[in-house]
A = this chain, B = another copy of it.
Amino acid sequence: MPSPSISILSLGSQVGSLMRGKNQDAHGRLIYDYFRGRSLGVEIVERDDGFINSGAGGAYLSKYQDWPARERSAIRFAKGRVLDIGCGAGRHSLFLQEKGLDVTGVDVSPLAIRVCRARGLKDARLMSIDDVGPSLGRFDTILMLGNNFGLFSNRIKARVLLRRFLKIMNPKGRIIAESLEIYKRPVDPSHRRYHLRNIRLGRMPGQVRIRIRYRNLATPWFDYLLASKKEMKEILRGTGWRVKRFLSSKGPSYITIIERD
């Protein structure tokens, strides 16, 4: 009797934008259990070629002093009214709220939003990046840290959403987005094979189709876009946005400060 929540959805379907129901909220359940002291917080990410990865899900609740150096640098670029897209357990939102900024956090995970509220985030909303629009008002900063440039899913959707973001951003607004320089050596052979497969399928090399699993829960499969600096520049071209600066790190992770063209 396999649980219906873990049936593998058609890989061809666009599920990344769906709001996640209770039985699919593997991501939020992990965060919630960790928050309540009921889990060690190991996050399991499964890619659609079978590659499985584990990471420290507890990082979703980490304090400023435990963030990577690039995030501590990047957060200084946040100003004014802030929209934190894919806010998770609210680590960035709460930090900025404590600094006195006006912050709205959105996430597709009901339990992640519940944790944000329990931790004191005043404006935490259950919302997909697809539904971000004028109803939220206007912002000075959009945060997409923690690899959340990936929420753009693919090149086309990234460009559609970037243009839409122009309409909700004040003239001097900026986007602070994190991604991975996926070609930075050494590239793991398993990842290299995945990049090549994606190219054959007409996808971007770092367009990973993944899902989060936790105990008997699994999110739907969704596309998450890992883009090199060069690829990110290409995506931005003609959208009204451009790279202001890159904040690099020793590893493949980097953060981009994006401003209006």
Instruction: Answer whether residue A44 sits at the interface, using C-beta atoms and an 8 A cutoff.
Output: yes
- State whether A50 and B1 are in contact (beta carbons under 8 Å apart), knowing that A42-B42, A44-B44 are contacts in the complex: no
Q: Which of B5, B40, B44, B53 contacts A215 (CB 8 A)?
A: B53
**Which A47-75 residues have C-beta < 8 A from chain B?**
48-54
B190 touches A50 (CB 8 A): no
1/0 per residue, CB under 8 A from B, across A203-241: the answer is 000000000011110100000000000000000000000
1/0 per residue, CB under 8 A from B, across A161-191: the answer is 0000000000000000000000000000010
Chain B positions within 8 Å of A160 at CB level: none
A52 to B39, CA, bound (A): 13
- Name which residue of chain B comes closest to A50, CB basis: B6
Q: Which of B44, B51, B53, B216 contacts A49 (CB 8 A)?
A: B216
A189 to B50, CA, bound (A): 27
B197 touches A216 (CB 8 A): no
A3 touches B216 (CB 8 A): no
- State whether A54 and B54 are in contact (beta carbons under 8 Å apart), knowing that A1-B193, A190-B215 are contacts in the complex: yes
A130 to B44, CA, bound (A): 33
Looking at chain A's contact residues, the main secondary structure is mixed
Instruction: Answer whether residue A2 sits at the interface, using C-beta atoms and an 8 A cutoff.
Output: yes
Q: Which of B2, B40, B193 contacts A50 (CB 8 A)?
A: B2
Chain B positions within 8 Å of A3 at CB level: 49-51
| Chain A interface residue number, banded | 20 to 34
**Which A1-57 residues have C-beta < 8 A from chain B?**
1-3, 5-6, 40, 42, 44, 48-54
Chain B positions within 8 Å of A42 at CB level: 42, 54
Nearest CB of B to A197, in Å: 5
- State whether A216 and B50 are in contact (beta carbons under 8 Å apart), knowing that A42-B42, A44-B44, A193-B1 are contacts in the complex: yes
Chain B positions within 8 Å of A48 at CB level: 2
Nearest CB of B to A189, in Å: 9
Nearest CB of B to A44, in Å: 6
8 closest residue pairs by CB, A with B: A6-B50, A42-B54, A190-B216, A52-B213, A51-B216, A1-B197, A2-B49, A3-B50
Q: List 12 A-B contacts (CB under 8 A).
A: A1-B193, A2-B49, A3-B50, A6-B49, A6-B50, A44-B44, A44-B52, A44-B54, A50-B213, A50-B216, A52-B213, A52-B216
